[in-house]
Amino acid sequence: MSRFHALASRPLIGVALAAAVVLAGGLYFAGTSGSPQPASKPAAPPAGAPAVTVAVPLKRPVTEWLEFTGQFAAVDYVEVRARVGGYLTEVHFADGQVVEKGDLLFVIDPRPYEIALASARARLDQAASSREFASRQLGRVDELQRRDYAPQTLLDQRQSESRGAGAAAEAARAAVRDAELNLQFTRVTAPIAGRVGARQISVGNLVTTTASGGSTLLTTLVSQDPLYFTFDMSEADLLAFQRVHGAAAARGQVDVPVELRLMDEKSWGRQGRLTFIDNQLDKASGTIRARATVGNADLFIAPGAFARIRMPAGTIAEALLVPDAAIVTDQNRKIVMTVAADGTVAPRPVETGSLVDGLRVVRSGLGPDDQVIVNGLMRARPGTKVTPQPGTVEPAAAPQPGK
């Protein structure tokens, strides 16, 4: 009986195995033919992956600026030189003093020129007397000639003498004016208002002049308010400027507001106007000279000082900004390191713009949702895994006025 039952149970086992296979196959096909299953989560970074701080770019409207380094220069610069020679007797200023136009600076010994003026006036009196005598003689001869008591030749002679005496009187009068000017030139005054430099000669020294116009340099004088600020623009910057400011800028008719800051200042607190762009690019450097006019009412800025200048170059409605430190330079390319969903570092070549509130404008190559590495770049290598930690991109705090 036991053998019979064993033989009888074998068909039942086979049926059960077949049913199990069919059921498994049905479940398999049901799973593959139904709705798609959710995608598997990306693999987490390895436990030892370095930590970096990531953030999405800051998106906001910005005004782009063209920035340059330049140098202040005086609008007027004068080398104060004597127009007459002689011994220097007086100095009426302190080195570095601010003077007004017409202020007395030097005095050259005037006595020789006072004597020359007196002599010229005496010669003028003599010439005037000779002209008066010649005029009376001409009148007498003219009356006699009309009555036929004097020959025509005598009249012609008296007319010539009268004209000669008149010319001599005019020459004497010119000599007086020249002597008066020379006496006036012994008092050297400031031709412009500004700051005087160090005196180049002391009292008691001889001031010399030459026939060609050269003379002893006494001091220098520079104007203080306003000042020029000169800088060089590249050809690309010039084209960008002209596209923003139109045909007037291309014709050189510029009057554009600009902002400046000195080398120790953080804020753009000084105002000026761009008033001049040169008429051609320098062939050697490919740059063009530009000039702004800047007020200096407090006389704080010295001519020759360096500063930074910026001018508007357009507005971007929605610009992407990242910290300037997050941008890596690779030869002639700018690269931003981003982190993918699986923690892999992926470099992104980008085109950058100007610096705005401590953040760099990214023109292209970056999306608004990209996770940019803003801290820990030294621990990130392209293609390696990192552990991203959330961060934010914030503009730099506005500096206090005067800082």
pLDDT of amino acid 50: 83
Instruction: Kindly state whether residues 353 and 327 are assigned to the same domain.
Output: yes
Instruction: Kindly state whether residues 263 and 308 are assigned to the same domain.
Output: yes
pLDDT of amino acid 116: 92
Instruction: Kindly state whether residues 213 and 343 are assigned to the same domain.
Output: no
Domain with 101 in it: 78-222
Instruction: Kindly state whether residues 237 and 181 are assigned to the same domain.
Output: no
**3 in a domain, yes or no?**
yes
Instruction: Kindly state whether residues 302 and 343 are assigned to the same domain.
Output: no
Instruction: Kindly state whether residues 117 and 28 are assigned to the same domain.
Output: no
Contact predicate 83/185, CB 8 Å = yes
Kindly report, residue by residue over 2-19, the tens digit of the pLDDT: 343 443 444 433 434 333
**399 in a domain, yes or no?**
no
Read off the CATH number of the domain in which 129 is found: 2.40.50.100
pLDDT of amino acid 39: 41
Q: Please report the sign of the dihedral spanned by the C-alpha atoms of residue 237, residue 239, residue 244, residue 250.
A: positive
Instruction: Kindly state whether residues 85 and 213 are assigned to the same domain.
Output: yes
Instruction: Kindly state whether residues 309 and 329 are assigned to the same domain.
Output: no
How buried is residue 281: exposed, middle or buried, by Cβ count under 10 Å (0-12/13-18/19+)? middle
Buried b / exposed e along 350-365 (16+ C-beta atoms within 10 A): bebbbbbeebbbbeeb
Instruction: Kindly state whether residues 205 and 329 are assigned to the same domain.
Output: no
pLDDT of amino acid 45: 62
Instruction: Kindly state whether residues 235 and 213 are assigned to the same domain.
Output: no
pLDDT of amino acid 111: 93
Model confidence, pTM: 0.64
Q: In the chain, what is the straight-line distance between the N-terminal and C-terminal CA atoms, in Å?
A: 109
Instruction: Kindly state whether residues 102 and 209 are assigned to the same domain.
Output: yes
| The token pair that represents 382 in the structure block | 């392209």
In 3D space, the residue among 279, 278, 366, 282 whose CA is nearest the CA of residue 322 turns out to be 366
Buried b / exposed e along 19-28 (16+ C-beta atoms within 10 A): eeeeeeeeee
Read off the CATH number of the domain in which 366 is found: 2.40.420.20
Low-confidence ranges of the chain (pLDDT < 70): 1-48, 212-213, 246-253, 314-317, 397-403
